[in-house]
Structures are given as structure tokens and as C-alpha cells.
């Protein structure tokens, strides 16, 4: 890690925090936070799912979606659904991936406005509870992040 530069992205519930580390020292000028935490994603996914007519019954509990970011599934009224995409018999019942991708793109654009294009970065580390689900979206949306090296 010496003589290396990394971007650390911490996707929390309320904020998405980012920190550039050079030679194990934080560069505070290229670090910060934005309101693109998973709470916004949870709200947007819940609104989409509440409007979906193919779910067994409507639901209101955002915690079900919040947990699904870590577990990749949720249950409503005893019926289990995979997340962010649920299919039955080859038919898409719901797909939250476009919502997640749009959110991550906005967050990455914000980070790029501060950090730049990432030419000086050796890699990116994505951390926090929902990182395993969000990691592929972060990796896909922009060249700044295509060198994602780790997910914690």
C-alpha cells in the first residue's frame, strides 16, 4: 500500500462517503460525502415495488428492502423474493437494477467532480453492508471505478 493511491467508497445508509488515500495518508481535499446513501435507494426501490401489480400484496416496510441489499432477498407475507431482480417461470416480476444503476451513476458523477477521472488511482475499495450487491453496479457505471480492487 506504500506508494499507492486508492479511492475508498463507503456506501452508508444516509451518505456515500469517499476518501482518497495516498501512501496510507488521507487526502482530505479529494474526499467528502454526498447524500447518495442507500436510504435513497431503499426509498426509490420501495416506491417502485409498491407500484408493481405482480407482487402478492403491497407492503410499506423499508427495512425489508434495506436488508435485501445484504441478503439479496426479502419476504413479504411469507413469500420470498430474490433481489434486486425477481423472476418466476422465466418472467420478470420486478427488476430494481435500473434504479440501483441510475443511483450509483449519480453518486459516481459526484465523486468524479471532486476526485477527477482517477488517472492517479491504483484502485478502488468499496465497503459497507450492501457493498456486495452494489459492487457490480459501481464497477460497471464508469471508467473511474472499473479498476475496483476490493469489496469489504
Q: Please, are residues 33 and 16 in contact by the beta-carbon 8 Å criterion?
A: yes
Going by C-alpha positions, the residue among 51, 92, 50, 34 that lies closest to residue 64 is 50
The answer to whether the predicted template modeling score (pTM) of the entire model surpasses 0.75 is: yes
pLDDT in tens, 92-131: 989 999 999 898 888 888 988 898 887 888 888 888 766 6
End-to-end, the C-alpha distance of the chain in Å comes to 16
Q: Where do the domains of the chain lie, and which CATH numbers do they carry?
A: 1-152 (3.30.420.40)
Separation CA 34–CA 108 (nearest Å): 10
Amino acid at each position: 500500500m506504500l506508494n499507492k493511491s486508492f479511492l475508498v467508497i463507503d456506501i452508508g445508509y444516509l451518505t456515500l462517503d469517499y476518501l482518497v488515500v495516498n501512501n496510507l495518508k488521507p487526502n482530505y481535499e479529494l474526499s467528502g460525502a454526498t447524500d447518495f446513501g442507500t436510504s435513497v435507494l431503499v426509498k426509490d426501490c420501495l416506491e417502485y415495488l409498491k407500484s408493481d401489480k405482480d407482487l402478492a400484496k403491497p407492503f410499506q416496510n423499508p427495512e425489508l428492502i434495506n436488508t435485501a441489499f445484504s441478503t439479496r432477498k426479502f419476504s413479504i407475507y411469507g413469500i420470498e423474493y430474490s433481489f434486486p431482480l425477481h423472476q418466476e417461470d422465466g418472467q420478470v416480476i420486478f427488476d430494481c437494477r435500473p434504479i440501483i444503476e441510475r443511483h450509483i451513476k449519480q453518486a459516481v458523477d459526484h465523486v468524479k467532480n471532486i476526485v477527477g477521472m482517477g488517472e492517479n488511482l491504483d484502485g478502488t475499495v468499496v465497503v459497507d453492508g450492501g457493498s456486495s450487491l452494489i459492487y457490480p453496479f459501481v464497477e460497471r457505471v464508469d471508467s473511474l471505478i472499473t479498476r475496483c480492487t476490493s469489496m469489504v
